[in-house]
């Protein structure tokens, strides 16, 4: 949540008004995380943290475990080993109340939007507000109108997801994700299935949310244009080594790649590939 | 990290500060503005009758804020737009100004107005056209399947035997449990009915007649048809519907391969083969259930029941039921596959297709049963 005095600050910061842990503590901290599907090892020894107010990109080739890592970060899967610390709380081992509190403070934009097809756009955005707040119907309507306006969908409140384009569906899903003014926003492949203009517009929105609300943003993507445009820092998952092999700003990683995989990924090179 | 100015836990506040000698109104915004706590509404803060040339803001004591402050400012801006007053954002934090601009941005596509309400006559006409289109689609689908069968018989298309055997397996061992249970209970129910009614007339012996006729001519085929419509018809619709959503059916079409040949034909023929066999099985199980009741309640021996049954029913009674099974198999296959192929693209589409396939299948089975019985009566079969 932003603060009035931030208007002069050169950097973005989130202020905690709900008595949460804040200060310089990272928004998310991943410690010795191992991910498995059954006995199949996906990734191991993942150690990184996401600072407040930064755009953190998880990148890697197809099948490298990016989306699986996202599922762990948003609580859809439990770590096989290790911890995911969200604002000082171990997400994987939190009790129901703690878990619900964490979920309430995060928003997720799924790869295909995942709007509820039986609900209008307004109802999609209103549902988390009705579920998590004590706002009355009029206040919820106002918040819904604001969120849809922020993503450029003013006037589309009564439309069903099936009646709008893919890009608009993603923006509507983003309106739902930011309904509760989350501290952390997760994006799974935000530009997938979008034309370059719509993808660029979504990148603009991501940057605007970071700048205006000071939201911490975690993006899973392999879209290089998007990575270089929005990322403050990026993490590279190496499918061959089954662990992370790079962490830093995209420009740093491109100029001083720590491995061939990272170099090839960031320069779109198929050199040395079978 | 921004400073909090010692305003933490201070409730949101908005109050009017009149600047002396000027017609501008300044609203002082202070405290923590949170969605979950009661934030001031613009209409409650400023009397609409107050005259001013401009509305500005003082945010020196503003703490943390979220969408609630943005909503307040949008209300203020709407008021300014309506009253022709200048909305002065110079006192607002940059972030708030940017968000206000973002919320005001014109959508790249304007929402079209809702279609006008139809009159009663128009609604009836529209419903009629929809029903006509559906009927034409059914006829076209049936024609396409018939064409596919003819091409198969003329060896102009290949059968996907693996798919066919999967359907056969699913409708043999996979369906025996439910068919056994339902057929047994139906036989028991018919026998109970016979015992209660016929015993009054001292004609309990004729229970075997009732069970034999009932199972062979009617209930064996009918109950098997209804079970398979609910089980296999729904499965066909769901399978093909999922394939439609994932564009697998489009992939067949764009390759120039008929999805009817590859997907519908094996399913239809699988059921065509298995339904009569299941009906024969259901007939035997149902008659066995009836015999259990007769032996238990009427002191008949199994031999007496079977000899009574054999003297009553003929081969044509049994064949009528088997013939119905063939027809019902075609109906179930057609309705399941057709509804699957007509599946929409939304999340609920597969569920609707499965439901429609079951409803259509059962309705057509009962209708076909009545027509076949009527024809059998006419032909004295």
Whether residue A157 contacts residue A120, with contact meaning beta carbons closer than 8 Å, is answered with yes
Contacts of B296 (CB under 8 A, 6+ apart): none
On average, the pLDDT of chain B sits at 87
A135-170: per-residue pLDDT in tens?
Answer: 889 889 999 999 999 888 988 999 988 888 888 898
Residue keyed to tokens 């068919």: B179
Co-location of B196 and B319 in the same domain: yes
For residues A156 and B100, what is the distance between their CA atoms, to the nearest angstrom?
19
pLDDT of residue B5: 39
Mark yes or no for CB contact B2/A23 under 8 Å: no
> What residue in A sits closest to B74 (Cα-Cα)?
A146
Residue with tokens 């007509």: B342
Is B331 within a domain? yes
Choose among A16, A133, A156: nearest Cβ to B36.
A133
| pLDDT at residue A7 is higher than 70 | no
Closest C-alpha to A161, from A106, A119, A98 = A119
In a shared domain, residues B248 and B173 = yes
- Say if residue B236's pLDDT is above 90: yes
In a domain, B122, yes or no: no
How many C-beta neighbours within 10 Å does residue A145 have?
A: 19
Give the CATH number for residue B53.
Answer: 3.30.750.24
Q: Measured between CB atoms, does B64 come within 8 Å of chain A?
A: yes
Q: Would the CB atoms of B67 and A147 count as touching at under 8 Å?
A: yes
- B81 vs chain A: nearest CA distance in angstroms? 17
Does the pLDDT value for residue B21 go beyond 70?
no
Instruction: Tell me the pTM.
Output: 0.70
Whole-number pLDDT of residue B228:
95
Residues B76, B163: one domain? no
Q: Are residues B177 and B42 part of one domain? A: no
Partner A contacted by B59 (CB < 8 A) = yes
Question: By three-state DSSP, how is residue B213 classified?
Answer: helix
Is the pLDDT at A271 greater than 60? The verdict is: no
pLDDT at B12: 80
Q: What's the CA gap between A230 and A203, in Å, rounded?
A: 7
Question: Rounded to a whole number, what is the distance in Å from the CA of A16 to chain B's nearest CA?
Answer: 8
Lowest mean pLDDT among A195-209, A229-243, B37-51, B120-134: B37-51
**B114 in a domain, yes or no?**
no
- State whether B162 and B79 are in the same domain: no
**B81 and B197 fall within a common domain:** no
Number of compact structural domains in chain B = 2
DSSP state of A5: G
pLDDT for the residue numbered B1: 30
pLDDT at B108: 63
Q: What is the pLDDT of residue A269?
A: 65
**Are residues B88 and B149 located together in one domain of the fold?**
no
Give the number of residues written for chain A.
Answer: 274
B103 vs A5: which has the higher pLDDT: B103
Q: Averaging pLDDT over each range in A98-112, B43-57, B70-84, B210-224, which range is the top one?
A: B210-224
Q: Is the pLDDT score of B65 beyond 90?
A: no
**Cα(B280)–Cα(B89) distance, rounded to whole angstroms?**
83
What value does the mean pLDDT take over residues A171-187? Answer: 92
CB contact under 8 A, A143 and B74: no
Selected residue with higher pLDDT from B250 and A232: A232
User: What's chain A's average pLDDT?
Assistant: 84
User: Is A146 in contact with B70 (Cβ distance < 8 A)?
Assistant: yes
Q: Which helix (H) or strand (E) holds A83?
A: strand A81-86
Chain A touched by B346 (CB under 8 Å): yes
Q: Does A63 touch chain B (CB under 8 A)?
A: no
Which of B104, B132, B152 terminates a domain? The answer is B104
Question: Does residue B127 belong to any structural domain of this protein?
Answer: no
Q: What is the pLDDT of residue B109?
A: 66
Q: Residue B292's pLDDT is what? A: 94
Asked if B64 lies within 8 A of A9 by C-beta distance, the reply is no
Q: Which residues are CB-contacts of A160 (< 8 A; sequence separation ≥ 6)? A: A117, A119, A120, A121
Measured between CA atoms, how close is A238 to chain B, in angstroms?
30
Domain boundary among the residues B46, B72, B104 is at B104
Say whether B270 sits in a helix, a strand or coil: helix
Shared domain check, B168 and B317? yes
Please tell me the predicted confidence (pLDDT) of residue A93.
82
pLDDT of residue B361: 96
Which regions of chain B does DSSP assign to beta strands (E)? Answer: 13-18, 24-33, 54-58, 62-65, 86-87
d(CA A65, CA A42): 6
Kindly provide the b/e burial profile for residues B83-105, where b requires at least 16 CB atoms within 10 angstroms of the residue's own CB: eebebbbebbbebbbebbebbee
Q: What is the tens place of the pLDDT at every residue in B355-368?
A: 999 999 999 999 99
Task: Please write the tens of the pLDDT for every residue from B133-192.
Answer: 988 989 999 999 999 999 999 988 888 888 899 889 888 888 999 999 999 999 999 999
Whether B206 has a pLDDT exceeding 50, the answer reads yes
pLDDT over 80 at A6, yes or no:
no
Fold for the domain defined by A25-266: Rossmann fold (3.40.50)
Of B376, B111, B20, the closest CA to residue B221 belongs to B376
Of B54, B72, B104, which marks where a domain is finished? Answer: B104
Full DSSP string of A124-138:
HHHHHHHHH----HH
- pLDDT score of B15: 82
The model's pLDDT over A184-218, given as tens digits with 9 standing for 90+, comes to 999 999 888 888 888 888 898 899 889 888 899 99
The reply to whether A78 touches chain B by the CB within 8 Å rule is no
pLDDT at A220 over 60: yes
Tell me if residue B2 falls in helix, strand or coil: coil
pLDDT tens for each residue of A17-51: 333 444 578 999 999 999 998 888 999 999 999 99
Structural domain including B85 reads 13-104
Residue pairs between chains A and B whose CB atoms are closer than 8 Å: 117
Percent share of chain B, pLDDT over 70? 93
Tell me the CA distances in angstroms from B169 to A123, B260, B279, one per residue in order. Answer: 45, 21, 16
Are residues A17 and B64, on separate chains, in Cβ contact within 8 Å?
yes
A138 touches chain B (CB under 8 A): no
Residues B154 and B253 in one domain: yes
In a domain, B213, yes or no: yes
Does the pLDDT of residue A5 top 50, yes or no?
Answer: no
The arrangement of strands across the sheet holding A89-90 comes to A40-50, A28-37, A81-86, A89-90
Q: In this model, does residue B6 exceed pLDDT 50? A: no
Which chain B residues are within 8 Å of A158, Cβ to Cβ? 114
Residue ranges of the domains in chain A? 25-266
**Are residues B51 and B153 located together in one domain of the fold?**
no
Whether B3 is in a domain gets the answer no
> Which of A100-114, B27-41, B101-115, B292-306 is least confident?
B101-115
Same domain, residue pair B267 and B170: yes
Q: Which residues contact B74 (CB under 8 A, 6 or more apart)?
A: A146, B100, B103
Q: How far is A177 from chain B (nearest CA, A)?
A: 13
Burial class (CB in 10 A: 0-12, 13-18, 19+), A191: buried
A96 Cβ under 8 Å from any chain B Cβ: no
Instruction: For residues B285-311, give the mean pLDDT.
Output: 91
CB B186 within 8 A of CB B286: yes
Query: Residues B225, B354: one domain?
Result: yes
* Average pLDDT for B369-376: 95
The DSSP 8-state label assigned to residue A161 in this structure reads G
- The answer to whether A33 faces chain B, any CB pair under 8 Å, is no
pLDDT digits (tens, 9 = 90+) for B240-276: 999 988 888 887 877 777 889 989 999 999 999 999 9
**Cβ–Cβ contact B67 with A under 8 A:** yes
Question: Which pLDDT belongs to residue A222?
Answer: 87
CB-CB under 8 Å, B105 with A152: yes
Q: What is the pLDDT of residue A14?
A: 32
């Amino acid at each position: 949540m932003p603060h009035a005095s931030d208007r002069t600050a050169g950097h973005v910061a989130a202020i905690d008004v709900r008595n949460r842990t804040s200060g310089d503590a990272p928004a998310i901290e991943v410690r010795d995380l191992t991910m498995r599907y059954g006995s199949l090892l996906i990734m191991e020894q993942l150690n990184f943290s996401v600072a407040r107010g930064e755009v953190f990109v998880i990148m890697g080739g197809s099948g490298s475990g990016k989306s699986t890592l996202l599922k762990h970060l948003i609580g859809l899967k439990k770590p096989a080993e290790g911890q995911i610390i969200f604002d000082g709380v171990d997400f994987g081992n939190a009790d129901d109340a703690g878990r619900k509190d964490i979920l309430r403070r995060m928003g997720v934009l799924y790869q295909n939007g995942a709007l509820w097809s039986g609900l209008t756009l307004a109802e999609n955005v209103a549902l988390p507000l009705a579920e998590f707040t004590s706002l009355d119907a009029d206040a919820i309507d106002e918040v819904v109108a604001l969120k849809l306006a922020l993503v450029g969908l003013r006037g589309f409140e009564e439309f069903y997801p099936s009646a709008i384009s893919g890009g608009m569906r993603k923006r509507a899903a983003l309106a739902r994700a930011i309904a509760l003014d989350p501290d952390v926003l997760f994006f799974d492949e935000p530009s997938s299935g979008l034309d370059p203009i719509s993808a660029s517009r979504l990148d603009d929105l991501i940057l605007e949310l970071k700048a205006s609300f000071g939201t911490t943003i975690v993006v899973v993507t392999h879209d290089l244009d998007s990575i270089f445009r929005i990322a403050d820092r990026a993490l590279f998952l190496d499918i061959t080594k089954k662990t992370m092999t790079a962490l830093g700003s995209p420009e740093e990683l491109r100029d001083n790649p720590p491995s061939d995989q990272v170099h090839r990924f960031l320069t779109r090179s198929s050199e040395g590939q079978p | 990290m921004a400073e909090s100015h010692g305003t933490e836990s201070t409730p949101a506040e908005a109050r009017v500060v009149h600047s002396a000698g000027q017609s501008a109104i300044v609203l002082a915004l202070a405290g923590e503005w949170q969605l979950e706590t009661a934030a001031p509404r613009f209409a409650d803060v400023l009397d609409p009758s107050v005259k001013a040339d401009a509305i500005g803001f003082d945010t020196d004591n503003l703490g943390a804020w979220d969408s609630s402050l943005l909503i307040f400012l949008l209300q203020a801006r709407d008021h300014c737009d309506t009253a022709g007053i200048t909305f002065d954002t110079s006192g607002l934090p940059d972030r708030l100004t940017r968000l206000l601009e973002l919320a005001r941005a014109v959508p790249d596509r304007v929402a079209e107005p809702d279609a006008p309400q139809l009159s009663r006559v128009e609604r009836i006409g529209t419903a009629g056209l929809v029903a006509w289109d559906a009927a034409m689609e059914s006829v076209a689908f049936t024609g396409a399947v018939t064409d596919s069968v003819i091409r198969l018989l003329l060896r102009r298309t290949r059968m996907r035997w693996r798919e066919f055997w999967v359907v056969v397996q699913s409708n043999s061992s996979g369906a025996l449990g439910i068919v056994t249970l339902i057929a047994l209970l139906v036989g028991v129910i018919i026998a109970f009915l016979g015992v209660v009614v016929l015993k009054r007339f001292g004609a309990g012996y004729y229970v075997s007649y009732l069970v034999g006729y009932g199972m062979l001519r009617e209930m064996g085929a009918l109950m098997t048809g209804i079970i398979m419509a609910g089980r296999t018809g729904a499965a066909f619709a769901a399978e093909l519907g999922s394939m439609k959503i994932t564009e697998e059916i489009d992939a067949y079409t764009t390759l120039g391969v008929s999805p009817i040949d590859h997907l519908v034909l094996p399913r239809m023929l699988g059921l065509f083969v298995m339904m009569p066999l299941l009906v024969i099985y259901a007939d035997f199980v149902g008659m066995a259930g009836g015999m259990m009741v007769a032996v238990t309640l009427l002191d008949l021996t199994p031999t007496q029941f079977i000899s009574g049954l054999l003297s009553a029913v003929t081969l044509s009674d049994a064949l009528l039921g088997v013939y119905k099974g063939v027809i019902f198999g075609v109906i179930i296959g057609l309705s399941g596959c057709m509804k699957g192929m007509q599946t929409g693209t939304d999340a609920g589409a597969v569920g609707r297709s499965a439901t429609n396939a079951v409803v259509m299948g059962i309705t057509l089975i009962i209708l076909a049963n009545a027509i076949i019985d009527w024809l059998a009566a006419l032909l004295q079969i």
